[in-house]
């Protein structure tokens, strides 16, 4: 698949099965990588998950096309904790990015409507899913 070869230029495969591939992608390259993904015909974000592993925040984008699943793990440094939005290409990521921002404290650069999704607007505590 041409997309896989292109993604290998920007990241590293760490798991590959018949219809599923997992990549590690540097957080500064997520915009370029997502452009390649979108241009390849993958237009659906199934989910965005994330967790604090103690050293960094790992954001995982799960993208689907027919019976193919592409997973992009993006380690985000805890000290900067920001990543570029993908909502311009994947509008379905709108609420997923808001949840990621609110629960893990990651600033989503360029998000069309940043703000709280679940917590009160005046919430000042530590993001609930941060260690």
**How many helices (DSSP H) and strands (DSSP E) are in the chain?**
3, 7
Average of pLDDT values for 35-58?
A: 95
Is residue 126's pLDDT more than 80? yes
Is residue 1's pLDDT more than 80? no
Neighbours of 118 (CB within 10 A): 10
Whole-number pLDDT of residue 3: 86
Yes or no: say if 47 and 70 are a contact pair by the CB < 8 Å rule.
no
Positive or negative, the CA dihedral 35, 91, 61, 75 is positive
Whole-number pLDDT of residue 4: 86
pTM of the model: 0.94
Average of pLDDT values for 44-71?
A: 96
Domain extents in the chain: 2-78
Question: What does the alpha-carbon distance between residue 15 and residue 92 come to, in Å, rounded to a whole number?
Answer: 26
Average of pLDDT values for 29-52?
A: 95
Whole-number pLDDT of residue 56: 96
Q: How confident is the model at residue 118 (pLDDT cuts 50, 70, 90)?
A: very high
Compute CA distances 53 → 4, 12, 21, whole Å: 27, 19, 21
Segment 70-81, tens digit of pLDDT: 999 999 999 889
Q: Give the architecture-level CATH label for domain 2-78.
A: 2-Layer Sandwich (3.30)
Whole-number pLDDT of residue 24: 97
Percent pLDDT > 90 in the chain is 85
């Amino acid at each position: 698949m041409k997309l896989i070869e292109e993604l290998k230029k920007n990241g590293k495969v760490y798991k590959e099965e018949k219809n599923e591939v997992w990549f590690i992608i540097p957080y500064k390259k997520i915009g370029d990588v997502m452009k390649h993904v979108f241009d390849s015909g993958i237009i659906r974000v199934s989910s965005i998950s994330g967790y604090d592993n103690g050293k960094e925040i790992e954001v995982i984008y799960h993208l689907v096309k027919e019976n193919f699943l592409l997973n992009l793990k993006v380690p985000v440094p805890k000290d900067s904790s920001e990543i570029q939005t993908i909502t311009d290409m994947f509008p379905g990521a709108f609420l997923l990015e808001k949840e990621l921002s609110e629960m893990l404290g990651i600033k989503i650069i360029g998000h069309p409507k940043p703000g709280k999704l679940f917590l009160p607007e005046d919430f000042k505590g530590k993001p609930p899913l941060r260690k």
